Chain A
């Protein structure tokens, strides 16, 4: 038996059409729900539904708050007027006729009534009409048999409609708009399944619109957050820079002293040398006149010994020495013992005083010692000049290291101790007041790092340590190998960090210092810098022992 049935030429039964429509509806709904873009949702809705219903026009209409409204999207069959302005400027005939099937969307950016060829005032005057009051749909088979008021008929004629099916689109109880299908060619009887299709589509359109709106809001929020984040990062950069400038400002005063002190010594020594040289040259010719050969030999021995002796003693060492030599001289009945003792020490003669008795008991003793003084001071003043120059350049070098800031700099091989020493040099003046610095430097390898930024870390830690020890104390710096990294510890003997603030000290803008003294960024920035090196920074504190430990990995290539 042959079960084969040839394809029927008969139109499908209404049941089949209904089933087909349900299937299509499911597909459309799926497409709508999958789309996050309002424009796509409108396009799919109008195009697909018009295709399924085989109607001439399908549109999405949205109410405004005052119940005026506009067509947002429209799919229209060839030959019919478009209710939306043809924006893309093609296929438009007179009176807004379209040449082919078209799907048009309203240009949202143009404002409320842009693009709309026909304004609808009927729905506005009835405040959304019966839909706002619960009517689920309106199916009109023939617009001329319903007894519509003239104005509405006029509007419908502008739509070129003879029959239509309207379903409301609700969003949270609120009538958002309408989904409308229009038959222009002829009157049309709308089947239940068609009504149901439209209602389903309208329901899902509402959900999809809501979703799309949320997504739009989210996108907007995300964009706002991104902008805010960018601004915050910029602000942070500025603050870091300001913090650095503030710290630099604090240093400038100390640095002025650090540089002016060696400059003072240089200026004085150079002036003293000029005077010494002039005096020595004037007096030297008299040497043979005043001294016999034996005395002359002794004189040059004295000069030689003085020049070979260590030139600078601390004043506390010199004083007992001066007293001792004074007493010795008094025993040898040398006049003006105190001044001569003082002169001898300044010359650099501090031992075997009795071997120079021949000169010290000489009647020209003042002349002899003055000449010796002028000759030997030339050398010691020169030494002062050299050490002072070295000192000033050290300060300048340290400052240069400190002030350099290059965000784009690359990692360099550097010895962490050098950075620590740079900072100690900068703070030398504050440290020497009443703080003892103890260095426990292990022989650690160089690491790839951002040396200038690490200097900032050491600056913050050492500066905090100094501030915690205003009454004096001990600052201990340790470098050691630990866990394939270098551990740097900065320990102060200050009052310690109270337990309740310990957890907050790395937070931005947290400070225990009086207003103006600290920005509360120092340790925060330090932590950021250490993080950047893939290291760690920790603190342990009790009164008299506050220990900041920074660990930096040896292998730090990322």
Chain B
């Protein structure tokens, strides 16, 4: 059975915990939920999941992170996994970055901190329905 995962990327552990719990409560065993504290770690997670034949179907990524910014990370992700759903989470509206991600990473949506559980789950649901 080919399983699928949702990956959350943020440099704040409390955010990752919160996102994961929200997704878990909403989607239960339907997906595997993974988290990463940086873009670099996210690539490792994707690699590991691939080894376990688990396909990442969506990434929710913070924008302001150590190393590369969320928009650049999602652009790289999109280049390697064009089918993957990309969602950006941001505490500060950097319109240029959002525009760039929309154009080059096929950004599905942008979530603004503080987000609501409903916003998050609706975005994921709508993306999965496409």
List residues of A whose CB falls within 8 A of some B CB. 253-254, 256-269, 271-272, 275, 312-316, 318-319, 336, 338-339, 342, 346, 377, 380-381, 384, 387-388, 429, 432-434
* Set of chain A residues within 8 Å of B16, measured between Cβ atoms: 315
Which of the residues A258, A266, A268, A388 comes within 8 Å of B19, measured between beta carbons? Answer: A268
Top 4 closest pairs, chain A to chain B, by CB: A268-B18, A257-B91, A260-B91, A264-B113
CA distance A256 to B32 in the complex (A): 31
Q: How many residues of B contact A (CB 8 A)?
A: 39
Which of the residues A263, A342, A381 comes within 8 Å of B114, measured between beta carbons? Answer: A263
Which of the residues B14, B20, B66, B115 comes within 8 Å of A432, measured between beta carbons? Answer: B66
Task: Sample 23 A-B pairs with CB under 8 A, ordered by A number.
Answer: A254-B92, A257-B90, A260-B114, A261-B91, A262-B14, A264-B114, A265-B15, A266-B114, A268-B18, A268-B19, A268-B21, A269-B14, A271-B116, A272-B18, A272-B117, A275-B25, A314-B13, A315-B13, A315-B16, A384-B18, A388-B14, A432-B66, A433-B65
The secondary-structure label for the interface of chain B is mixed
A314 touches B37 (CB 8 A): yes
B37 touches A316 (CB 8 A): yes
Which of the residues B22, B34, B94 comes within 8 Å of A272, measured between beta carbons? Answer: B22
Contact with A along B6-36 (1 / 0, CB 8 A): 0000011111111111101100010011111
List residues of B whose CB falls within 8 A of some A CB. 11-22, 24-25, 29, 32-37, 41, 45, 48, 64-67, 89-92, 94, 112-117
A433 touches B66 (CB 8 A): yes
B22 touches A268 (CB 8 A): yes
* Set of chain A residues within 8 Å of B48, measured between Cβ atoms: 319
* Set of chain B residues within 8 Å of A275, measured between Cβ atoms: 25
CA distance A253 to B64 in the complex (A): 11
* Set of chain B residues within 8 Å of A377, measured between Cβ atoms: 21
* Set of chain B residues within 8 Å of A267, measured between Cβ atoms: 114-116
Extra inter-chain contacts (8) besides given A261-B91, A265-B114, A268-B117, CB under 8 Å: A254-B92, A261-B12, A268-B114, A275-B25, A319-B48, A338-B32, A384-B17, A429-B64
Q: What's the least CB distance linking A182 to chain B, in Å?
A: 89
* Set of chain B residues within 8 Å of A266, measured between Cβ atoms: 114
* Set of chain A residues within 8 Å of B13, measured between Cβ atoms: 312-315
A258 touches B37 (CB 8 A): no
A315 touches B64 (CB 8 A): no
B11 touches A432 (CB 8 A): yes
CA distance A318 to B25 in the complex (A): 20
